[in-house]
Amino acid sequence: MQKRIAAIHDISGFGKCSLTVALPIISAAGIEVSVIPTAVLSTHTGGFTGFTYRDLTEDILSITDHWCSLDLKFDAIYTGFLGSFEQITIMEQVIGRLRTDNNLILVDPVMADNGVLYKVFPDSFPDGMRRLCAKADIIVPNMTEAALLIGQEYKQGPYTREYIEDMLKKLAGLGPRRIVLTGVYFNGSQLGAASYDRHKGEVEYAFSPRVEGYYHGTGDVFASVLLSAVLKGFPLADAAQIAVDFTAQSIERTRLAGTDVRYGVNFEEGLPMLMQRLNIK
């Protein structure tokens, strides 16, 4: 049967991130996506000034309740960028209402990058995010978000296996069974992700050649592919490799085109290859 995901992120009109990335990627994977927009912006907040920002905090629970009244069921709940601190508590309620015995809760704790918390969020945001992560089956933090979640100082790489594995275990200690940590590297030539499943007790790595430059929205591209592959039945480490490759190729395509890094990555031209890799006939 076709799978169905509830994606709960902002919609930034321009700049390819959150819902404008999650929708096309998950749909291309042959999975139905329903959305709850957390905020509507003219662009994302990374590098643009003067963006519009409409907070939709008040709509989230009404949308959820309407869905519940229709008895809609979701194979996964996928949360990303939240429009306000209050939305963290609301997201816990949404998860409480939409959770079933066998659906998957993926929380992407979108809040920081490159060692700094996004300036739209208060300093207390990581505390709230830590509570939300405790409700998740899978979390996909980058290295900055991971450090904030476990209350550790952010360190730039290259990292050691010991450092990454210690971090993964501390993250699993927050509650989620499975962690996929992004932005992991042991040398200058490769970049990727580390996955950890608490039940298996095993850390697995997925790398791809590093592409220079900081491109926006890549975390959302990564998480959307990862979740699609997991719902398609791929083991977590294989799903992470598919997501690392797809994200790195999207970045490389964008770098070759010389596009403004704020405009997001050209993931669209990679979708046919992704569909093949996910075995979509």
With respect to ligand PXL, which residue has the nearer C-beta, 45 or 64?
A: 45
Q: Which is nearer to ligand PXL, 114 or 124 (CB)?
A: 114
Alpha carbon distance 177, 150 (integer Å): 15
- Interacting positions 94-123 with ligand PXL (CB under 6 A): 110, 118
List strand residue ranges (DSSP E) for 80-189, in order: 104-107, 112-113, 116-117, 138-139, 178-184
Beta pairing partners, 14: 43
| Host H or E run for residue 227 | helix 218-231
Among 75, 145, 197, 220, binds ligand PXL (CB under 6 A): 220
For 113, list phi and psi in degrees, rounded to 5: -160, 160
* Binding residue (CB under 6 A) for ligand PXL from 5, 7, 17, 139: 17
Among 18, 64, 208, 228, binds ligand PXL (CB under 6 A): 18
Site string for ligand PXL, 28-57 (x = CB under 6 A): -------------x--xxx-----------
Q: How big is the site for ligand PXL, counted in residues (CB under 6 A)?
A: 14
SS3 91: helix
For residue 64, give both structure tokens: 């959820």
Report the nearest approach of ligand PXL to the CB of residue 280 (Å). Answer: 25
Instruction: Give the residue with the Cβ less far from ligand PXL, 197 or 220.
Output: 220
The DSSP symbol for 160 reads -
Binding-site member from 8, 10, 22, 148 for ligand PXL (CB under 6 A): 10
Per-residue binder mask for ligand PXL (CB under 6 A), 128-167, x = binder: ----------------------------------------
Reported in sequence order, the residue ranges of 173-270 that DSSP labels E, i.e. its strands, are 178-184, 190-197, 202-209
* Residue 90 Cα to chain centre, angstroms: 18
Q: Do the Cβ atoms of 271 and 25 come closer than 8 Å?
A: yes
Task: Write out the residues near ligand PXL by the rule CB under 6 A.
Answer: 10, 12, 17-18, 41, 44-46, 81, 110, 118, 217, 219-220
